[in-house]
Each structure stands twice: as C-alpha cells, then as structure tokens.
Homo-oligomer: A and B are copies of this chain.
C-alpha cells in the first residue's frame, strides 16, 4: 500500500524562504501597495466578517495570541507571539504563522509563515489609515521606535501616501543606525534624530512603534502640534501604551475593532465609553475622517484579524502556478472518510 498522500491531504505551505522570494518577485513597495488595497477592500465589507477579539494567553514574559475571523466562505487565523525580552536573547519579539481554510468543509487551504507578512500587513494597515486620516500633502513622517517594523512602515508610507522624508528616533541609537542603513537607497530622505522631540519637527505623520510591555510615554502632550496624524501601533496589549492621555483628549481617535482596542490600545487609559470612530466607517464614508487642517487624528492600532485575513488571501492569490510554496501532508485522507482506522492499519504494511 503506498504511503504517499492523496491530493486532498496536501496543503500549500509558504516557508520564510519562499515568502522572501515572493516579496522580491513582486517588489516590496508594490506588495505594500497591493496589500493596502487588499486590506481596504476587506474593510469595505467589514460587516461580512465574523469578528471576535483575539484569544490571548498572557504570561510574565509575553503573550501568545490566536486571531481568527471568517467571511463566511474562507476562515483564517494567525498565531502570533509578543515577547519584548526575546530581543536580548537574539530572538524575534514577534513571530507568526497563519492559515486559511474552507468554511464549507473545514479543510485548510494555506499554511504560511507570517512574521514577515505581519510586518508587511501592519505597515499596509498604517498606510491605509493614513490615506484617510493624514493631512493632505504630508511629505514627512517621524518614526519613533526603530525596531523590526520600522523600515516596512517607512516604505508603506512612501509607496501609498507619498512620504519623502522619514525622521528616526529610538532610545537605542544602534536601532536608528540599522534602520537608516536599511533605508539608504530607498529613495527616502532619512534623518536620524537624537530625541523624539527633534524627530517630530515638521512631521505630518508621527508613527510610534516601541516594544516595551508597560505603560510608557513616548509622546507627551506638549510635543504634539495641531494638524498631525498619529499612527500609534506599539500600544497593543493590556498594560502597554505609548501616549500620554492628554494627547488622546486633544485628538480624534480611530480604531479597528472597538471591543479589542478598549482592552489593548491607547484608549485602555480612558473610560470604557470614550468616543472612538471605527476606521471601516470612515473608509465607507459613513463616518467623518479628517475634518480640518488643525485636527489631530490618532489611529490607535492594535492589529486585527481581518488584516491578517486580507494578507493571507492576497498571498494565496499569488501562489497558483508559482514556485513559492511546497506541499505538506497535514490532512489525513482515507479512501472512505469513515475508515480512518483502516488507513492507519494499511499503512503498516
């Protein structure tokens, strides 16, 4: 009896190596633009999705989360961890993988690395929000926190919004050096800065992306001038925030999925009924986005399952006929579906 699995038993798996090949095949900036559009297309049909807050398992060292969603035809979830102390051990703070499955039969149709893909989709989501909220004509972004996400954020804002200059600050100057080196040759003007205050000078978009798992104050109220858009992506779990609450009180706050953001985002500092606007409503024109040139807009981003779903669907669409995946045998497929035991028994011979 041959042990080789049938076609139904095989699902495409995109390894880290293949994801890197896929990104370079498409081109990073092109992929960021396409991902931004893919995510926006799913935000436009927000109400089709089965939405739930992520399922988080917190420990002293970090968090492991499962982020499921479904549009009724395709089900997706992401496994993702967040361990700020990993960096000191030479490990990634965030690693992830994801899966798509058919809702009608429950069979997986894609398994893929998502550490790289999460960095790309997070940057694309930021760019999508900025497209609707940032002051028009902004050409300068401040990037506070120059870790693993920084270059992706900068390139997405360049490709989608037309940012021309990125001003970098990190408490660790080596992180800023790394980011500046990686962005040389990107076409962006890169300005390493010695303080957050200096970095935000002249910036129409301020992106904060730091990793400490604690209440931090990366920005204080007196640092933030009128008219800016704040893209706050580092405050993304309970007990982890980046902005002083006085900034929130001067800003209009836009969020992904309020039940999750109220627990994990910057607004965990505020009352449970603190007014927020759902980003999907702005995109659909059902709610007001940027009102005027002096308004401070805040995208209090924590990352939501639909963004991963969009990224997974996007990758799946790129695979057919390509060499960017291998097949793995993860689904048992007996000839007679009731005869799982018979399949096992026949494998002995």
Contact = CB atoms under 8 A, between A and B. Distances in A.
B61 A332 contact: no
A175 interface: yes
Given A20-B3, A95-B332, A347-B24, A339 B64 contact: no
A92 interface: yes
A37 interface: no
A289 interface: no
Contacts of A266: none
B57 A86 contact: no
A68 interface: yes
A259 interface: no
A103 B61 contact: yes
Interface string A241-270: 000000000000000000000000000000
Interface in A77-98: 77, 79, 81-83, 86-87, 89-93, 95, 97
Q: Bin chain A's interface residue count.
A: 35 or more
A15 to B, nearest CB: 4
How many of these chains are in the complex? 2
Contact of A107 (B8, B91, B334): B91
B151 A341 contact: yes
Given A152-B341, A340-B148, A68 B68 contact: no
Interface string A333-345: 1101111111111
A59 B104 contact: yes
Would you list the 10 A-B pairs with minimal beta carbon distance, nearest first?
A: A81-B106, A115-B332, A151-B341, A20-B347, A15-B329, A148-B340, A147-B338, A83-B106, A16-B332, A24-B348
